[in-house]
Amino acid sequence: MPRFGMVIDTKKCVGCMDCVVACKTENNVPEGYNRDWIVQAVNGTFPNLNLEIRSERCNHCENPPCVTTCPTGASHINKLGGVVLVEHDWCIGCKACLASCPYDARFIHPEGYADKCTFCIHRVEKGMQPACVSVCPTHCMYFGDLDDPQSEVSKLLNTRKNYTLLPDAGTKPKIFYLT
Amino acid sequence: MQEITSTRNNHLIDPVFNAWGWEIPVYLFLGGMVAGMMIISGYFIYKGRSGEKNCSCHYLPIISLILLTLGMFALFLDLEHKKYFWRLYMTFKIASPMSWGSWILLFVYPALFLNFILGLPEKIRMKYSFLNNVYEKLSFSKSFVKLISFSNITLGVALGIYTGILLSALAARPLWNSPILGILFLVSGLSSAAAFVHLIARDINERELLARADNNFLSIEIIIFILYFIGMLSSTRAHINAADILLTGSYAAVFWVFVMGMGIIIPLIIQSLAVRHKIQHNPAAPIMVIFGGFFLRYVIVFAGQFSSYDVAALLNKF
């Protein structure tokens, strides 16, 4: 079984938000909500500033607190790829998963269930890339099997410096940022 | 300098996480107070007081049933996908406190109902032969009465602790990351329940007993708060920042004035003087304790949502 993850090159990302638009279009994300988003982090003191741009989304953690705290089992880890998903008809909208996610990656869909990035599992099952990855004009996003040493994501993680968001939260994210 | 801008802007999430409104503190408060009432009425029955006419154990179960139902209704209002609430009872998730809570509540109702029948006045029992039959069967066996008292105490403790663990299991909010919240909410629930019984008790000795008990609960609460803050302040940067929200930050005024001052310290002083017969018992102290119990949940729920692992984002929020 593959273990899907994503690698995002912050040196290439220009924050064009194509990934955001592609996600909203592909997944019919309602107006006013986002499954992925752009973060711009500025560090330093003027004029010596450093700008990092990141495309962020659910980290599909290996130790996902949203799955642990879900009282109905609606939040679950998918057999294919270890992707964290929500079964809409099992979700009662209690918001425990929203409160337990350190990345605030979830939101309540206007229809009442908890919603978030699915790694476009419906596309991945057909052998395609997630929508955000497929449209990125700077090719800064890579998607693949973290357990396959020959995959592009594994090679990048072996050769480039990288980090995950909030590692102290202990969730073991599967989205890695190259620096 | 670190400045972060995000295009996320999701409802209930940005700019500050605010998924839970008034419904959750109301539910946690009523659930905690009912837990305390179950323990108190269970204790009175265990002590063999169910035969006494003036014992509060006769009317606490019906008050508990009403308050718990109101609390559960508040909880139901908070659900965003209401038509699927029954899914809670289609599974049991051992790692989810909410799943534990929903199953505990399923056992709490029959325990309270049996306790309620045990305390029914004769007049009402005689009107409804069904209730009288159940009562006679229940009170016939002493061991059954003890079982009712034991189940009320045990389920009361479970309910009280669960209301705190519910929050502490949500690992993303550092202010909630302490299992001591379970004990804090249990003791606070006991304290609110003792104050409530103090207010409505017909028996003077019972009132005196509950005032003394409440003084102990309030003192223990202070100790638990100290331990809670020691735990927070000696932990990670996220936890220190979280504790500061209560101690000196944006929720400090509500915390110090309504929770610690009016909710614990002032009523503790008043009741300590009252039980030493230096001043008369008055309803001000128990009323303050009850309001303090509510504000405790309110502050912990809202300040907890305000706390975050994302320290940089947190700094921007201040």
Look at B281 and B248; give whichever has higher pLDDT: B248
Tokens representing B311 are: 């320290």
**Contact in structure between B308 and B173 (CB atoms under 8 Å):** yes
What distance in Å separates the CA atoms of residue B40 and residue B38, rounded to the nearest whole number? Answer: 6
> Which residue's entry shows tokens 């009850």?
B290
Give the Cβ contact number of residue B258 at 10 Å: 19
Check residue B194 and give its pLDDT: 97
Q: What angle, 0 to 180 degrees and rounded to 10, lies between the N-to-C axes of helices B180-200 and B142-168?
A: 130
Check residue A33 and give its pLDDT: 96
Lowest mean pLDDT among A17-21, A108-112, B52-56, B298-302: B52-56
**Contact in structure between B199 and B211 (CB atoms under 8 Å):** no
Which domains are seen in chain A, by residue range?
4-178 (3.30.70.20)
Cα nearest neighbour of A99 on chain B? B170
Task: Name the residue facing A65 among B8, B19, B172 (closest C-beta).
Answer: B172
A42–B7 C-beta distance less than 8 A: no
Check residue B230 and give its pLDDT: 97
Task: Name the residue facing B6 among A39, A73, A170 (closest C-beta).
Answer: A39
Look at A33 and B2; give whichever has higher pLDDT: A33
Decide if pLDDT at B231 tops 70.
Answer: yes
Tokens representing A109 are: 């869909």
Q: For chain B, give the percent of residues with pLDDT over 90.
A: 75
Check residue B311 and give its pLDDT: 55
Decide if pLDDT at A133 tops 50.
Answer: yes
Residues B121-176 have pLDDT tens digits of 777 778 888 878 888 877 778 888 899 999 999 999 999 999 999 999 998 999 99
B305–A92 C-beta distance less than 8 A: no
- Give A109→chain B minimum CA distance, Å: 9
**CB-CB neighbors (< 8 A) of A166 in chain B:** 309-310
For chain B, the average pLDDT equals 92
Cα nearest neighbour of B84 on chain A? A92
**CB-CB neighbors (< 8 A) of B171 in chain A:** 65, 100, 102, 169-170
A34–B87 C-beta distance less than 8 A: no
- Give B215→chain A minimum CA distance, Å: 34
Residues A13-24 have pLDDT tens digits of 999 999 999 999
The string of DSSP codes covering chain B is -EEEEES---TTTSSS-----THHHHHHHHHHHHHHHHHHHHHHHHTT-TT-TT-GGGTHHHHHHHHHHHHHHHHHHH-SSGGGGGGGGG---TT-HHHHHHHHHHHHHHHHHHHHHHT--HHHHHH-HHHHHHHHHHHH-HHHHHHHHHHHHHHHHHHHHHHHHHHHT-TT-GGG--THHHHHHHHHHHHHHHHHHHHH-SSHHHHHHHHHHHHHHHHHHHHHHHHHHHHHHTS-HHHHHHHHHHHTSTTHHHIIIIIIIIIIIHHHHHHHHHHTTSS---THHHHHHHHHHHHHHHHHHHHHHH--S-HHHHHHH-
**CB-CB neighbors (< 8 A) of A172 in chain B:** none
Residues B28-71 have pLDDT tens digits of 999 999 999 999 999 999 998 877 878 888 889 999 999 999 99
Check residue A31 and give its pLDDT: 94
Average pLDDT over residues A110-115: 97
| CATH class, B23-317 region | mainly alpha
Decide if pLDDT at B1 tops 90.
Answer: no
Half-sphere exposure of residue A70, counting CA atoms within 13 Å on the CB side? Answer: 27
- Give B248→chain A minimum CA distance, Å: 23
Check residue B162 and give its pLDDT: 95
Average pLDDT over residues B89-93: 95
Domain ranges of chain B: 23-317
Check residue B316 and give its pLDDT: 43
**CB-CB neighbors (< 8 A) of B6 in chain A:** 37-40, 56
Task: For chains A and B, count residue pairs whose Cβ atoms are closer than 8 Å.
Answer: 154
